[in-house]
Amino acid sequence: MQVFFRPEVAEKVPSESDERESYVMPMPPPNVTGRLHMGHAMFVSLEDVLTRFHRMRGDRTLWLPGTDHAGIATQMLVERQLAAEGTSRQEVGREEFLRRVWEWKDEKGGAIVDQMRRLGASADWSREQFTLNEHMSAAVVEAFCRLHEKGAIFRGQRMVNWSPVLQTAVSDLEVEYSDVQGQLYYFKYVVAGEDGEAE
């Protein structure tokens, strides 16, 4: 079944014209740590419909699948494992921590891909990508550099969810909110009036 989802198959589909259009759609990469939710099911359904439509037209069609490394989420999960073992990423060192992250990704990171396959996503799974593959990382760095040079992205002052444990900003999804009864403070400033006198 897998071979039918490759673009080369279009050559075997009868067509009225000798010239075939190409249709390529990269899959928005879901997090490697995640599980399928309704949003994923919706995008898989819509993109699958578009992909199958173009295949039936005889177009050379590629729906390119992949997953995102979900760096902070993955780090959090591996750090929990280390804490359960009575150690930390600082104690094991960078190389060992990276080895453990890749090990975790290889063992447990494919659940969402398996779920998408069970949904019947007709992507060309033989070309599956991962955002930390060397050529993908190089493309991301290049894209960010170009966007920065054009002024499309920049550094700025922003409120973030800072994790003192992970020593980085985390997504709203990783934050546990709680209501706290607190105090509201305000300051009165002396402001000069029109005549230069304090009001």
pLDDT digits (tens, 9 = 90+) for 36-60: 888 888 989 999 999 999 988 888 8
Q: Say if CB 161 and CB 172 are below 8 A apart.
A: yes
State what percent of residues in the chain have pLDDT above 70. Answer: 87
CA gap 133, 73 in Å, rounded: 18
Q: For the segment 92-136, what is each residue's pLDDT rounded down to a tens digit?
A: 999 999 898 888 888 877 788 888 888 889 999 988 888 888 888
Q: Is the dihedral of CA 84, 85, 86, 92 positive or negative?
A: negative
CB atoms < 10 A from the CB of 58, how many? Answer: 18
Average pLDDT over residues 150-177: 83
Q: Which two tokens stand for residue 14?
A: 């009868």
Put residue 53 in one of left, alpha, beta given phi > 0 → left and psi -120 to 50 → alpha.
alpha
pLDDT over threshold 80, residue 195: no
State what percent of residues in the chain have pLDDT above 90. Answer: 26
Cα dihedral 14, 56, 68, 84 in deg (nearest 10): -110
CB atoms < 10 A from the CB of 40, how many? Answer: 19
CA gap 74, 162 in Å, rounded: 17
The pLDDT, as a whole number, for residue 24 is 92
pLDDT over threshold 70, residue 199: no
Place of tokens 């490697």: 32
Partners of 198 in the β-ladder = 192
CA gap 135, 158 in Å, rounded: 31
The pLDDT, as a whole number, for residue 65 is 92
Q: Say if CB 83 and CB 61 are below 8 A apart.
A: no
How far is the CA of 129 from the CAs of 65, 66, 113, in angstroms?
A: 6, 4, 11
**Reported confidence tier of residue 5, pLDDT bands at 50, 70, 90:** low
Q: Which two tokens stand for residue 81?
A: 């494992």
CA gap 64, 127 in Å, rounded: 7
Contacts of 171 (CB under 8 A, 6+ apart): 72, 73, 161
CA gap 87, 184 in Å, rounded: 40
The pLDDT, as a whole number, for residue 156 is 83
pLDDT over threshold 80, residue 84: yes
Of the chain, the end-to-end C-alpha distance in Å amounts to 81
